[in-house]
């Protein structure tokens, strides 16, 4: 266990201990996963007081960690005065309840953290509806599992315990809310479908900006559209809605460029399902600009995450360009090496840019023009 010294003398925030499993067969090291989890919590203004790592072949079915490690974690949380325990792995209802009984504090998992950030960033009615839908769909299975646990604790096997009635009542309320939200989102989808139909009828190609969260997609769209009415922030998931702007190319052609929600490792399936309307803008585009933060040490892994997510939403076969952004933050001599590696991994052309200053953006637009018009005409 690793302690983090708290040097913040200001207002007290919620304090968390983060936990991850070191499973030999997993794709990423626990250090990468924990560092990203800490970054997610910082975006919720939660102080990270310490961390727990346990090496296991697979998660413990009852506690995620082993029971002994969970009990040890309870003492550690008291020592560092943590009131929140956050697991990188997705927890089952039983694991969540068992950990809460041992630690005596609030228990979150990574999918819940991501959804909390989405909830905080949502600014439009559509985004708020979509995140509420995802939260409901995440909570319902947990209520079912907790209801069964409370039933066994309260009145024995096969009978209804005192806690189950309340759990069932809340679950039915959430299920009604899910139905209501889906009905409202049907109207949103019809409106978006009509908007896409009008764009297709006008014959204007669409270009979708995708990438890992906080890779600079919104900054790039602001640069391409000369800063017209866009919200740009250096924070995770600053864009949850789809922003579409017309961009004029050098030969006089127009394209519509859309900026949508960013991706991240283990994006909760409930979020992908809830944001289906938003993500459809990517799956119907003519060309994808896959934006990567070149200053990230795990840039190759973020490419894999984005491409896997694109495949999951039905956009895997759409032509794409890799946009290596934030080259102002890396050693320029490394750019050719990164280009070669990324192109070898993605089989797509890689263009280095700095969206903030505009370096390389002209060359990017020339390549977009070639891909959409000149290449297709040959």
Detail the residues annotated as belonging to a binding site for Mg(2+): 218, 239
Rounded to a whole number, what is the largest CA-CA distance in the chain? 75
Segment holding 287, helix H or strand E: strand 287-293
Token representation of residue 256: 């519509």
C-beta of residue 368 within 8 angstroms of C-beta of residue 290: no
What is the strand order of the sheet 106-109 is part of?
2-3, 47-55, 15-22, 84-87, 106-109
What Å distances lie between residue 341 and 128, 241, 301, 332, 365, CA to CA?
39, 32, 12, 15, 22
Give every CB contact of residue 201 below 8 A, 6+ residues apart in sequence: none
Detail the residues annotated as belonging to a binding site for GTP: 211-218, 237-241, 259-262, 325-328
Q: Is 57 exposed, middle or buried (0-12, 13-18, 19+ CB in 10 A)?
A: exposed
Give every CB contact of residue 112 below 8 A, 6+ residues apart in sequence: 138
Detail the residues annotated as belonging to a binding site: 211-218, 237-241, 259-262, 325-328
C-beta of residue 263 within 8 angstroms of C-beta of residue 306: yes
C-beta of residue 352 within 8 angstroms of C-beta of residue 327: yes
Instruction: Please state, in angstroms and rounded to a whole number, the distance separating the CA atoms of residues 153 and 160.
Output: 10
Ordered DSSP codes for 85-121: EEESSPPPHHHHHHHHHHH-SEEEEHHHHHHHHHHHH
Give every CB contact of residue 213 below 8 A, 6+ residues apart in sequence: 236, 237, 262, 263, 264
Instruction: Please state, in angstroms and rounded to a whole number, the distance separating the CA atoms of residues 268 and 115.
Output: 8
Ordered DSSP codes for 212-253: BTTSSHHHHHHHHTTS-S----SSTT---S-EEEEEE-TTS-
């Amino acid at each position: 266990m690793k302690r983090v010294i708290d040097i913040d003398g200001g207002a007290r925030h919620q304090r968390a201990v983060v936990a991850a499993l070191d499973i030999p067969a997993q794709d990423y090291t626990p250090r990468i996963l924990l560092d990203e989890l800490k970054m997610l919590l910082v975006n919720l203004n939660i102080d990270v007081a310490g961390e727990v790592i346990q090496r296991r072949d697979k998660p413990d079915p009852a506690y995620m960690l082993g029971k002994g490690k969970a009990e040890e974690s309870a003492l550690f949380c008291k020592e560092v005065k943590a009131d929140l325990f956050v697991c990188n792995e997705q927890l089952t209802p039983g694991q969540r309840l068992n950990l809460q009984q041992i630690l005596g504090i609030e228990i979150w998992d990574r999918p819940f953290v991501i959804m909390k950030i989405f909830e905080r960033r949502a600014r439009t009615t559509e985004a708020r509806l979509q995140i509420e839908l995802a939260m409901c769909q995440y909570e319902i299975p947990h209520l079912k599992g907790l209801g069964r646990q409370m039933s066994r604790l309260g009145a024995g096997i096969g009978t209804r315990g005192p806690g189950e009635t309340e759990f069932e009542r809340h679950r039915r309320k959430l299920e009604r809310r899910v139905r209501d939200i889906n009905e409202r989102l049907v109207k949103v989808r019809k409106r978006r479908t009509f908007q896409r139909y009008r764009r297709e009828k006008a014959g204007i190609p669409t270009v979708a900006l995708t990438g890992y969260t906080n890779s600079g997609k919104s900054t790039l769209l602001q640069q391409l559209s000369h800063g017209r009415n866009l919200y740009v922030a250096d924070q995770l998931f600053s864009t949850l809605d789809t922003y579409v702007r017309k961009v004029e190319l050098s030969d006089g052609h127009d394209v519509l460029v859309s900026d949508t929600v960013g991706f991240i490792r283990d994006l909760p399936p409930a979020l992908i399902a809830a944001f289906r309307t938003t993500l459809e803008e990517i799956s119907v585009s003519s060309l994808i600009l896959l934006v990567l933060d070149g200053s990230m040490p795990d840039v190759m892994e973020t490419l894999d995450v984005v491409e896997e997510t694109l495949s999951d939403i039905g956009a895997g076969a759409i032509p794409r360009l890799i946009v290596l952004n934030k080259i102002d933050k890396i050693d320029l001599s490394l750019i050719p090496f990164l280009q070669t590696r990324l192109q070898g991994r993605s089989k797509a052309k890689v263009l280095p840019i700095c969206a903030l200053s505009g370096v390389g953006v002209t060359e990017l637009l020339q390549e977009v023009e070639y891909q959409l018009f000149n290449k297709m005409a040959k």
